[in-house]
Structure 1
């Protein structure tokens, strides 16, 4: 259920994207939306996270501006 907290946070901010646990015990994903909301989500991922998660570090890459959302809604991928 750890991913559910991330999904809920993304939805509450009105973001689009997805999150997925990897076999290496890390989490990957993609977030789209207004820059201020994306920044809020990044801060949550880096400093708060799900209640049972342990955050060792957060790396955000491939950041770019887009003219329109490429993903609809916020979901968990398996």
Structure 2
């Protein structure tokens, strides 16, 4: 049973940066507590690259989906 909770927790931690890339910063700060300065700098650089890549893919894929279905930004306003 504990393995199930561990697997679910790991899955949520892995999916969290994909759902909201900016939460990667908080996740990084929590996980980088016992790293030395060089490791922390390398990991922060890689996290920044991944966050940028995810945000760019989401931006362009979102534009493509909206254009495909003919949805405009003013059409989304309530």
- Fold conserved between structures, TM > 0.5: no
TM-score by length of 1: 0.31
Greater fraction helix:
2
Q: Bigger relative contact order, structure 1 or 2, given CA contacts below 8 A and separation 6+?
A: 1
